[in-house]
C-alpha cells in the first residue's frame, strides 16, 4: 500500500539539494510526484509530494530528517486524499504597481466566498519603461458551485479600481 508524504523544505541555495532529496527518496522506494521549488532571496524553498510503500514510510522520514544536520530545514507530513465538494476551476492573473496589501485584498475576496486558492505564484520586478516596482500574480482558484460569479467579478473589479491593478479571471480549461 502506498503512503503519501508532503515535504516542505528551506535551505541556503546551493547546488545538489534536489539531487540529494531525490537520492534519499529513491533509496527508500519512493516516487517523487509533484513539487513546487523556488529560489527566493538567496534561499531555496519548496514543497514536494512523495509516494512511498508503507514499510518505507518511517525509514524515509528518518533519512529525510537527518538532512537537518546538513543545513536543510525540512518538515515531513503524512497526507491522504480527501473528498472535495464540487467546484469550478478558474485561472486568475494580477498585474500592477506594487504596494502592500494586494494579496490580502484578493485573498479576502476569495475567502469570503469559501473559494480555495489551489495555486498562487507571485513575482516582483520593475516596469519596463519607468523602472517602477511591478507586482504580478497568477493562480488557480476552486470556486464552489454556489458562488455568484457576477458578484465575484464585481468585487474583483472594485479591488482592481481601488488598487490601480489589473485582475483577470477566466475559467480553467482541463
**pLDDT at residue 118, rounded to an integer:** 93
Instruction: Tell me if residue 156 falls in helix, strand or coil.
Output: helix
Do residues 173 and 88 make contact, with C-beta atoms less than 8 angstroms apart?
A: no
* Mean pLDDT in residue range 31-60: 95
Q: Is the pLDDT of residue 81 over 80?
A: no
Give the integer Cα–Cα distance in Å for 36 and 68.
20
Do 117 and 156 reside in the same domain of the chain? Answer: yes
Instruction: Work out how many domains the chain is built from and give that number.
Output: 2
Residues 55, 20 share a domain: yes
Helix, strand, coil percentages (3-state) for the chain, rounded to 5, are 30, 45, 25
Contact assessment for residue 46 and residue 9, using Cβ atoms and an 8 Å cutoff: yes
13: containing domain: 2-79
Q: Please tell me whether residues 91 and 167 are part of one structural domain.
A: yes
* Predicted local confidence at residue 124, as pLDDT: 92
Taking the model in full, what pTM does it have?
Answer: 0.81
Q: Which carries the bigger pLDDT value, residue 83 or residue 47? A: 47
- Mean pLDDT value across residues 36-44: 94
Average pLDDT over residues 138-155: 96
Q: Residue 127: which CATH number? A: 3.30.70.260
Amino acid at each position: 500500500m502506498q503512503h503519501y508524504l508532503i515535504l516542505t523544505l528551506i535551505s541556503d541555495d546551493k547546488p545538489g539539494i534536489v539531487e540529494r532529496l531525490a537520492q534519499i527518496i529513491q533509496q527508500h522506494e519512493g516516487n517523487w510526484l509533484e513539487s513546487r521549488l523556488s529560489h527566493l532571496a538567496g534561499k531555496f524553498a519548496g514543497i514536494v509530494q512523495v509516494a512511498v510503500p508503507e514499510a518505507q514510510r518511517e525509514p524515509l522520514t528518518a533519512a529525510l530528517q537527518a538532512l537537518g544536520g546538513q543545513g536543510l530545514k525540512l518538515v515531513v507530513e503524512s497526507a491522504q486524499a480527501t473528498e472535495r465538494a464540487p467546484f469550478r476551476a478558474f485561472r486568475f492573473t494580477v498585474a500592477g504597481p506594487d504596494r502592500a496589501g494586494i494579496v490580502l485584498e484578493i485573498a479576502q475576496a476569495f475567502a469570503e466566498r469559501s473559494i480555495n486558492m489551489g495555486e498562487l505564484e507571485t513575482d516582483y520586478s520593475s516596469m519596463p519603461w519607468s523602472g517602477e516596482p511591478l507586482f504580478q500574480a497568477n493562480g488557480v482558484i476552486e470556486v464552489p458551485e454556489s458562488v455568484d460569479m457576477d458578484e465575484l467579478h464585481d468585487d474583483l473589479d472594485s479591488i482592481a479600481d481601488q488598487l490601480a491593478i489589473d485582475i483577470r479571471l477566466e475559467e480553467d480549461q482541463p
